[in-house]
Every structure is written in structure tokens, then in C-alpha cells.
């Protein structure tokens, strides 16, 4: 018998996606603060400590769970949405940036998945959202996600979001995949995660791809995003004006003079 609530869902949209969760009476879903979009009238919203696992009843357990969430850079609190009505009700959550929402049935992956620390969106009540420490010192220091990643445990549906296009790879035993650390969305618990030095003075100084990349070794499944949000944000900041009143702009070495040469004479 499943310990998680058996929810139904529908993913809406193509690039700016949201997920509509359908709840039977007394079913519930947990979500990160700030992901809520809309809900039907008879759904009750409660803010709780920790990861929302139904079995956690003691205050100390909730406090420990909340502390773990702080280590991953998330809020102390999560939100639970429960259907208090007599019929089916819907609640909808939206991804925070353009990309895809990935539905994951944890029971298909031996009850555990590891994902980047800001990927989780929402999950059926009973799914635990915890932390996964990287055991290797090099992986922790240079792996892009630090020592800590998120782990999702349980036997219900969980939803993670990504930026850009999603590629799924099924790695065979011993098969290795070298990947930009920011492009990892999630992988199954059997996958071995390590980092490797790019190598070569020219590659390191002028390659523009960073000093390290991740090495994922099978067996297991990997979800990869084509555009890490940090890369997107960096490009936006690079071309954003520092001072719209006429100061230097990062998008041009010549600043305001560059605008005149480019035909921009605002």
C-alpha cells in the first residue's frame, strides 16, 4: 500500500508550463513557497515546517526537517494544499522560469531521486524532500551544486522544473557522461556523480566552459536541461544597462558612445 497520496495531474503549456493537480477528498499536495498559481474554493492551504511528510508528527522532527531545507537554500516552510470538499478539486502550480515541468513517479525509481537543489516544485503528500550530501571533497567544492543536493523519497508523484529543453539519458553499467554541472536536473540513486578537471591551459583559461565538468557513470537515468537558469541570468545581466540615465552599459565596451555608433540615440 502506498504511503503517499495518489494524486492525478495535468501539465499545461509548452514553454511557460504549469501543473494542475486534481485532488480527491482529503488528498493533499506539498509545494515550495512561491510556486502557487490558483486553486478551487474547497482546498485549504496550510503553511508547515519541514518537508510535509505525513509521518512526521513531533516538533523536533519538523525542526530537523526545516533545518535541512535551510542547508539547500530553501525556505524553512512548505505549503500543504488539502481538499476539504466532497468532490474533486484542483490546485495549480507554475514553474518560476521558462522550461519544462518533469513528472516523476518515485515508485518507478526505487523510491528515491537526486536533483539539483532548486529543482523541486511540488509533490504528493507523503513524499519527503530532504538533502543529499556529496561524499567526495572535490565534488562538493567544485561540482556546481556544492556539498548538498536535494533528494526526493517516497512512492508518490513529484514534479521538478528545469530551464530550456529536457533530454533524458539511460546510462548503461559503466557508461560515462561528461556534462556541464549546471545542466544536471536529476538522476537516479544508482548513478555515480563526480567532477573532473577540464585539463589543458588553453581549455581552462580560454575555453569559456568553466574549469570542471560533472562525470555521471551508469547504470541509471539522468535528466539534463539545455539552459541552466544561472547561464540565462548571466547573459541577461551581461547586456543589461547599469544606468539607464546614460551611464556605462555592459553590452558595449564604448558605453553611451557605442549606442550612438549602433544607431541607438535615445
What share of the chain in percent tops pLDDT 70? 66
Q: Is residue 113 part of a domain?
A: yes
Predicted pLDDT at 204: 46
> Is 195 part of a structural domain of the chain?
yes
Q: Are 150 and 71 in contact (CB under 8 A)?
A: no
List of long-range contacts for 18-21, beta carbons under 8 Å, 24+ apart: 18/92, 18/93, 18/94, 18/95, 18/101, 19/92, 19/93, 19/101, 19/103, 19/121, 19/122, 19/159, 20/90, 20/91, 20/92, 21/81, 21/90, 21/91, 21/92, 21/93, 21/122
What pLDDT, on the 0 to 100 scale, is given for residue 194?
Answer: 83
Does residue 150 lie within any of the structural domains? yes
pLDDT in tens, 198-226: 654 544 444 444 567 788 999 999 999 98
Residue range(s) defining the domain that contains residue 76: 8-235
Q: What is the pLDDT of residue 150?
A: 86
pLDDT of residue 161: 92
Task: Look at 85 and 139; give whichever has higher pLDDT.
Answer: 85
pLDDT at 137 over 90: no
User: What does the pLDDT read at residue 32?
Assistant: 84
Per the structure, how many domains does the chain have?
1
CATH assignment of the domain containing 78: 3.60.160.10
pLDDT of residue 143: 47
In a domain, 262, yes or no: no
Q: With pLDDT > 90 as the criterion, what percentage of the chain qualifies?
A: 41
14 domain residue, yes or no: yes
Per-residue pLDDT averaged across 21-49, rounded? 91
> What integer is the mean pLDDT of 237-246?
63
Instruction: Specify the higher pLDDT residue, 157 or 95.
Output: 157
CA atoms within 13 A on the CB side of 30: 24
- In the block, cell 537558469 appears at 229
Query: What pLDDT score does 98 carry?
Result: 83
Residue 244: inside a domain, yes or no?
no
Tens of pLDDT, residue by residue over 102-131, are 999 999 999 999 998 788 999 999 998 888
Domain membership of residue 253 (yes or no) is: no
What pLDDT digit, counting tens, does each position of 157-189 carry? Answer: 999 998 888 999 999 999 999 988 888 999 999
Amino acid at each position: 500500500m502506498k504511503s503517499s497520496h495518489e494524486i492525478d495531474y495535468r501539465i499545461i503549456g509548452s514553454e511557460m508550463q504549469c501543473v494542475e493537480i486534481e485532488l480527491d477528498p482529503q488528498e493533499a499536495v506539498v509545494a515550495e513557497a512561491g510556486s502557487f498559481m490558483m486553486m478551487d474554493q474547497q482546498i485549504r492551504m496550510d503553511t508547515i515546517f519541514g518537508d510535509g511528510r505525513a509521518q512526521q508528527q513531533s516538533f523536533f522532527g519538523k525542526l530537523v526537517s526545516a533545518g535541512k531545507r535551510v542547508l539547500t537554500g530553501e525556505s524553512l516552510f512548505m505549503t500543504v494544499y488539502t481538499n476539504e470538499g466532497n468532490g474533486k478539486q484542483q490546485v495549480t502550480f507554475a514553474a518560476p522560469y521558462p522550461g519544462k515541468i518533469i513528472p516523476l513517479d518515485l515508485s518507478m525509481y526505487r523510491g528515491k531521486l537526486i536533483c539539483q537543489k532548486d529543482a523541486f516544485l511540488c509533490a504528493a503528500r507523503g513524499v519527503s524532500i530532504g538533502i543529499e550530501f556529496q561524499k567526495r571533497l572535490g565534488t562538493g567544492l567544485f561540482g556546481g551544486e556544492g556539498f548538498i543536493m536535494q533528494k526526493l523519497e517516497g512512492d508518490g508523484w513529484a514534479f521538478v522544473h528545469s530551464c530550456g529543453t529536457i533530454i533524458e539519458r539511460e546510462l548503461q553499467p559503466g557508461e560515462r557522461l561528461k556534462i556541464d554541472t549546471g545542466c544536471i536536473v536529476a538522476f537516479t540513486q544508482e548513478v555515480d556523480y563526480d567532477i573532473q578537471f577540464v585539463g589543458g591551459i588553453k581549455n581552462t583559461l580560454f575555453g569559456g566552459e568553466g574549469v570542471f565538468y560533472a562525470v555521471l557513470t551508469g547504470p541509471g537515468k539522468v535528466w539534463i536541461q539545455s539552459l541552466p537558469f544561472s547561464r540565462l541570468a548571466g547573459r541577461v545581466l551581461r547586456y543589461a544597462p547599469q544606468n539607464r540615465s546614460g551611464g556605462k552599459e555592459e553590452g558595449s565596451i564604448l558605453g553611451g558612445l557605442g549606442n550612438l555608433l549602433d544607431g541607438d540615440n535615445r
